[in-house]
Homo-oligomer: A and B are copies of this chain.
């Protein structure tokens, strides 16, 4: 708690007696507001001259959106479901500014979920050797083959598309199986389980097609490009490290998949020198038995040996409520080489007091460097205190939490508490490709407009960018380098806003 806050409390709680108000009302009121501003995310940053002009330009637009929405709350974009509000968000002036802002790093995102369904549809499904078959449940499967196996009655997709009477149906079916987009999100994804059921189906559908090695490389390269174009400079990507394949039947190990990430990152960095890098978080499914978990650990150790710096660490993925809680694997995880860092998903739930909820406790006790989601965090004051003391950041993914039905209206997102208290926090995007988002700007917009205070300003956005570098797994030298690149971009961004501001005044 900062000094000003303490003094306000002292003034108010000890000098105040029930029958007299000895303090000056308006002075104390102003002090409380100032204290709250200072305690917020970004509240400890000072404006430099040009930043103040840029901030005014941003906040004029932010306030205009709020004023309209306060009069007519149906206009408030963060009060609607992202799946139907996203096209309107794209037109928001605040969103457009956030698009151009250098946002630093993406620290919570999943391998095959970063790129849009559009890209996969147009850039993957028209490739040669892609076969399709319909399962008994009416769901399609897609996979590349030189010569299809006998597990299904595979047909060459390009052949089927020649048939004009079915091409539209099949294309629309493929597209629908690749996206959470729907006209009735509140019916289709009425609760967490319903939303996750569709979410898991998408991964099951796209994985066999995307794990064809040449596609996997292109897909990851495209993911980096999307981020770069959105002014992101670094990523720590969580991957299950699936076994990739070639047409000739070759199947690659998880270690070789990691190599694809490493080499593709290097290729991207040589194409786009301002992109400062990527690291890998090995993050297989949490819904496994001990035997399978031991296999993970074998892979993890091998990864650490082969990619000591490219590997950031370990995590477990999948619907937390339905998978194994961390406690099941705690003893094994404690015995691991302590140089392997943890970035556990924990508390991605609204079941207060459940085993999922308790994952937050195990995550900090296991020494996690960051915590994924931590949606349930505000219910655990002691875990929050430990995280604050130890600088363990929480990775908040606003859109993900809404699409996967944890929260309906962003104004109810518990991260409001974290932002109000300048908690160590980063904002990330989780699986943008699966719900019609793109890179990070939509999540930043919704955090800024839907979860933070109306008074949170450019400094809050700047703090998010700085946090994303500070709480990354980069070493000191890498962080310093990243900060140099970021600061240059930040100055350009401010200059650009100042120019826009001046252009407007002419």
Contacts and interface: CB of A to CB of B under 8 A. Distances in A.
A338 interface: yes
Interface in A358-416: 358, 361-362, 364-365, 367, 378-383, 385-386, 389-390, 406-409, 411-412, 414, 416
A379 B453 contact: yes
A211 B130 CA distance: 75
Contacts of A353: 452-456
Contact of A354 (B20, B70, B382): B70
A73 B192 contact: yes
B382 A29 contact: no
Nearest to A19: B338
Nearest to A193: B73
A13 B385 CA distance: 10
A70 B351 contact: yes
Contacts of A451: 352
Interface size class of A (residues with CB under 8 A): 35 or more
Contacts of A334: 21, 25
Interface string A59-73: 000000010001011
Contacts of A383: 32
A148 interface: no
A454 B352 CA distance: 6
Task: Give the secondary structure class of A's interface.
Answer: helix
A153 interface: no
A341 to B, nearest CB: 9
A365 B18 CA distance: 11
Interface string A2-41: 0001001100110010111100010011001101100100
B389 A13 contact: yes
A191 B74 contact: yes
Contacts of A79: 191
Contacts of A21: 334, 367
A190 interface: yes
A416 B386 contact: no
A222 interface: no
A277 to B, nearest CB: 23
Which 3 A-B residue pairings sit nearest by Cβ, starting from the closest? A353-B454, A353-B453, A350-B411
Given A13-B386, A407-B412, 17 more contacts: A5-B382, A5-B385, A12-B364, A13-B390, A25-B334, A33-B358, A36-B380, A74-B193, A186-B186, A352-B416, A352-B451, A352-B454, A353-B453, A353-B455, A381-B420, A407-B409, A414-B417
26 contacts: A8-B382, A9-B386, A12-B390, A18-B367, A19-B339, A25-B330, A25-B334, A36-B380, A36-B381, A36-B382, A70-B354, A74-B191, A74-B193, A79-B191, A350-B409, A352-B411, A352-B416, A352-B453, A353-B454, A378-B416, A378-B417, A379-B417, A379-B453, A381-B420, A414-B414, A417-B417
